[in-house]
Amino acid sequence: MFLLLSSPSCNGSTWNTDRPVELYTVSSSNLALVLDPEAEDIPYFKAIAEDQEKQLALCKEESMCRRAHFLRGLSALYENRELAALHFRKVVVSRPNSLLAGESRFWLWFLEVMNTPNSAGLTSHELIKRLTREVVGKELSIHELSGKLENVSANSLNKELAAKDEVIKKLNQAMTALAKQLEQGKKEQAMLQNVQQALKGSEKKVEQLPNQLEALRRIDQEIREKVPPTRPSEKMTPSPEVEQPVESNEPKPIESKP
């Protein structure tokens, strides 16, 4: 395709010179040379063709299949024009209003021109005009899509940053709560250690109590054995009490005389 743009009027210092547009009929043989691949490009197009064949065998989504058909059609331009036209038609049928469908229509038109006898009187001027229009339209579409992509990317980035900020905020809150729990745990651990030490001290004291009681018993026994028993004193002996008759206050009966 770029061979048609390579003319002396478009090179070097003659680019801006005013020269009449050369109009002549493009023969089918000249157009055929446009799609004659360079030797170094053949492995590249072959690799693309093989990769897209694999994609077509595996793709399930319509958009992915449409893209694979379009790329397979491009690689087939230098291989088999009928095969290329078949893939471009599938792209158009899949979604007629899509961007790939518009580009596929252009390639179908181009292939039709090459297959028409004497190229239907097509001139280099008309062909270059059509190619220029397609290139400009494609550049504008790319620019529009790039702008949308930048806006989408910026919005997505802002949302992603906001989500990350929220995650970081929650992590900071969790870390603060965890730090408080750790501090409380340290205090509880210290209290537990103090209680354990107190319990150990109490256990030692309890263990020592039987020994202390046994020692006290021995001391008491030794004291009892060393001190002789004492007799009770007579003064200390209580005297038996004599029971005195109890006077009655009741009147005595009067004895009668005989």
Tally of CB atoms within 10 A around 52: 22
Give per-residue pLDDT as tens, 81-113.
Answer: 899 999 999 999 999 998 889 889 988 988 887
SS3 243: coil
| The predicted structure's pLDDT at residue 54 | 92
Q: Choose between 12 and 199: higher pLDDT.
A: 199
Percent of the chain with pLDDT over 70: 65
| The predicted structure's pLDDT at residue 89 | 95
Whether residue 181 is predicted with pLDDT greater than 80 in this model: the reply is yes
pTM, rounded to two decimals:
0.44
Tally of CB atoms within 10 A around 89: 16
Of 108, 107, 110, 101, nearest to 67 by C-alpha is 101
Cα 126 to Cα 24: distance, rounded to the nearest angstrom: 10
Cα 210 to Cα 223: distance, rounded to the nearest angstrom: 20
Residue 36 backbone class (left: φ over 0; alpha: ψ -120 to 50; beta: rest): beta
Do residues 59 and 89 lie in contact, with contact meaning Cβ atoms separated by under 8 Å?
no
Residue 121 backbone class (left: φ over 0; alpha: ψ -120 to 50; beta: rest): left
